Chain A
């Protein structure tokens, strides 16, 4: 006999701004609804302000992706002004973005994802005691080590941006100032220190060895190869995750999106097809097609907004209407779709669209999993560290070269700033009229991943990913939590009030 119950998953670390309800039947999740319960409204906050205000205001959308919002805002203004930043501006922007990603990737993995391995629900797992030693909240050895090392790395953004947090050093046509030779040298030293730690502690091997891992079989061989591999954070993620079944849950829509990011300077030793280090594309399964920004549209049929139809974000409206679609709406998050398709975005999507063989193998034939998604995040710095070092060295070799094009003036017009944030595709669509912001639409990675249903009834990416997940204890559905956290949901980081515990 089928029994159906509804459970609200307690997302203790998302403080109530994300509520996921699951329908549970025969030991598995049979349906799911993800609700963002906080109206942000930055789009409306921006209207009527000066053309450059997005550079100051949008970095405050997020405490973790602050630099990425700045980059999206600056790129939108670049597009409106028709400016191409000089090579050294591109290098500085890229290095800052990559540093933000690299600290976020490891912090999320260790402090937010693997900390659940130390949850009492896993007490019977054979690796539980080791998980406790590593990931016990605010005390585990891996947690403390990760905070120490990522703290050092973030100094790079402080030096390149001249301010931390929430710098506004990216401006239309480039950056506001050229970092000094001494600052760049110090950045290089910090990045090399991070690389040494990342290789030792996170990978357990040099980056070059990790990049040789090109299939599921090669991953197994890598894991068996040495104690250093097994004991690394990556090795432990695999060992614990497989035993816990994370490699067979969390599939998602099997469609992936990347806007592409990290433009190559015109003259650089970094090589990547398509002119960007992170490729743009849309993939159904592992079949990758070219990315076309005109295929993006926002559906609000199940969100608390007045429905003006399914619109491209350049024409989009953010018109809150709490009684809209009474009985149907359940989220403040809109439902962005690509060519009508719900997609997932983030490090795994980047890996698939980049054609990295290991991840192609891991997701082939619809085998996408929460473990593959988290593995892609934890190992993404391995794809970035070499380029960061090259671009810093090129900055040293080209000191004095221009860092900004144009005169800072932004004419009236429309433009989009599309980048990859740590959590995936981020876009700012901006229209300037009479020197002021007439329209500002933002689609965050969490809107892609955590959207509600659309007018066709299609679930959002992580709603889809948790359907079918086996649940051992309906009162504590930690398995569903593992799936959703593999997307690194970001909904609440804009509010940090100190609250007394009750």
Chain B
């Protein structure tokens, strides 16, 4: 099963550049054929188009208030969507996207994981998140393959 890693954020704004830096890290290395990476930038609702083709999705984004500075945290879609009060604005990012996704997509991704990082986007943290994203992607592929074998 294919997985898409979508890296979100603004590479030109300090503190919001974690996702784009992970994208750059992933783009510079060979990837499994089943993994697709997207520089999601400030796409917001525009990223819905990447959630419609049945792939599992791993988002990578900067977060605030979920863990200690310098730490990486795994969040599920519901927890991120829960950060949105439902109102839309120019700042609407992942929380709004994930909040409305079930209502606006006919076939949402079978699974969504968000890799969040708090604080300064150090090289070490970027590399760790990139490897974690790849590991999550391969675990998904393995789980699906096992399920298929069991059938």
Chain A residues at the B interface, C-beta cutoff of 8 Å: 12-15, 17, 42, 45, 57, 60, 62-64, 66, 107, 111-112, 115, 136-139, 143-144, 147-148, 150-151, 154-155, 158, 164-166, 489-502
At the interface with chain A, which of B27-35, B93-101, B141-149?
B93-101
Nearest-CB residue, chain B, relative to A42: B12
CA–CA, A499 and B48, complex, Å? 20
Partner of A139, one of B39, B42, B86: B86
Query: Beyond A139-B103, A144-B103, is A63–B44 a contact (Cβ under 8 Å)?
Result: yes
Residue B8 is within 8 A (CB to CB) of chain A in the complex: yes
Q: List 20 A-B contacts (CB under 8 A).
A: A13-B89, A13-B91, A14-B91, A63-B46, A107-B88, A111-B88, A138-B103, A147-B45, A147-B103, A147-B104, A154-B46, A164-B46, A490-B90, A493-B42, A496-B10, A497-B16, A498-B64, A498-B66, A498-B83, A500-B63
Residues of A within 8 A of B85 (CB): 137, 501
Query: Beyond A497-B15, A498-B114, is A63–B84 a contact (Cβ under 8 Å)?
Result: no
Cβ contact within 8 Å between B61 and A60:
no
Number of interface residues of B (CB under 8 A): 48
Cβ contact within 8 Å between A164 and B13:
no
Residues of B within 8 A of A139 (CB): 86, 103
Cβ contact within 8 Å between B64 and A165:
no
Nearest-CB residue, chain A, relative to B116: A498
Chain B residues at the A interface, C-beta cutoff of 8 Å: 8-13, 15-16, 39-49, 61-66, 75, 80, 82-96, 99-100, 103-104, 114, 116
Query: Beyond A144-B100, A494-B13, A496-B61, is A165–B46 a contact (Cβ under 8 Å)?
Result: yes
Q: Closest CB-CB distance, A440 to chain B, in whole Å? A: 13
Cβ contact within 8 Å between A155 and B49:
yes
Residues of A within 8 A of B47 (CB): 165
Residues of A within 8 A of B94 (CB): 496, 498
Cβ contact within 8 Å between A158 and B49:
yes
Query: Beyond A144-B104, A154-B49, is A45–B12 a contact (Cβ under 8 Å)?
Result: yes
Residues of B within 8 A of A164 (CB): 43, 46, 49
List 4 extra interface pairs beyond A15-B89, A62-B42, A165-B41, CB under 8 A.
Answer: A63-B42, A144-B100, A166-B39, A497-B93
Residues of A within 8 A of B65 (CB): 499-500, 502
Residues of A within 8 A of B49 (CB): 151, 154-155, 158, 164
Cβ contact within 8 Å between A63 and B41:
yes
Query: Beyond A137-B87, A490-B90, A493-B42, is A500–B64 a contact (Cβ under 8 Å)?
Result: yes
Query: Beyond A496-B93, A497-B63, A500-B65, is A166–B41 a contact (Cβ under 8 Å)?
Result: yes
Cβ contact within 8 Å between B66 and A63:
no
CA–CA, A144 and B9, complex, Å? 24
B43, B80, B84, B99: most-surrounded residue (chain A CB, <10 A)? B43
Residues of A within 8 A of B103 (CB): 138-139, 144, 147
